[in-house]
Amino acid sequence: MFRQVGRNRIELVQGDITRQQVDAIVNAANSALAGGGGVDGAIHQAAGPSILEETRRRYPEGCPTGSAVATRAGRLSAKYLFHAVGPIWRGGTSGEDELLRSTISACLDLAEAYSCESVAFPAISTGAYRYPLDLAAQATLETISARLAASENLKLVRMVLFGEGAYGQFSRVLESLALTDVSNFREGGAVGSDVDSTPKRPLPSE
Ligand code: AR6
């Protein structure tokens, strides 16, 4: 499914993020940028060893929670990888919501800085970091839709969800955002152009 935001689009797909053809792929990394399991492991395996070499050389201090850094994408068919460090879920009272929104924003800043038209995100923090899917979907999709509404370069953000549970949770939240944001949808042109192209019924003559 998708939601049109102004001239731009948020898409949800179920699948493997390493197979996406987009300008940048976001990795759910740890703050040491040391590689790991989950989507991080899959990305490093598919992209090849040049990624770890580059993170060690360019970011020896790692990357703090709530932010992201960029590298090339090795063997993946993207131009860049954005290594993003989401928060570990500790019950919701340790600033997790703010940190997750900050992580997503940092990736969108990088997309702008690197002139990307399309970016693919996994559901950051929802695996090993145990963030509840519904709350992660709310923070992630609200942050993305707010930024996409005003974005010039970035045309497409694709959320690549692993499994039906994640896809279902993100779909429910995306639908609810679309329902509460009718003006945004109108700006996309879909409603306006349909109305304009409808043939006008002549007024009944007296
Ligand atoms: N494509 C898309 N999504 C995936 C894929 C894939 N190939 N593989 C897993 N997911 P996680 P986190 C989903 O654990 O919670 C790592 O060890 C997965 O189902 O990858 O941010 C890092 O090194 C889940 O919904 O990332 C860190 O130490 C989502 O991706 C730590 O885990 C995120 O799960 C980061 O934990």
Q: What is the pLDDT of residues 21-73, one digit of tens each?
A: 999 999 999 999 999 999 999 999 999 999 999 999 999 999 999 999 999 99
Residue 186 pLDDT > 90: no
List the catalytic residue out of 40, 97, 134, 181.
40
129 — phi, psi (to 5°)? -85, 0
- Annotated catalytic residue 40: yes
* Burial class of residue 114, CB neighbours in 10 A (0-12, 13-18, 19+): middle
Mean pLDDT of 70-99: 98
CA angle 16, 18, 21 (to 5 degrees): 105
Separation of 27 CA from ligand 1 center, angstroms? 8
Tokens 């992660």 belong to residue: 136
- CB count, 10 Å around CB of 26? 31
All domains of the chain in start order, with CATH: 2-184 (3.40.220.10)
| SS3 call for 118 | strand
| Rounded Cα distance, 37 and 145, in Å | 29
Comparing 26-30, 122-126, 183-187, which segment has the lowest mean pLDDT?
183-187
Q: pTM for the whole thing? A: 0.89
pLDDT, position 190: 37
196: pLDDT strictly greater than 60: no
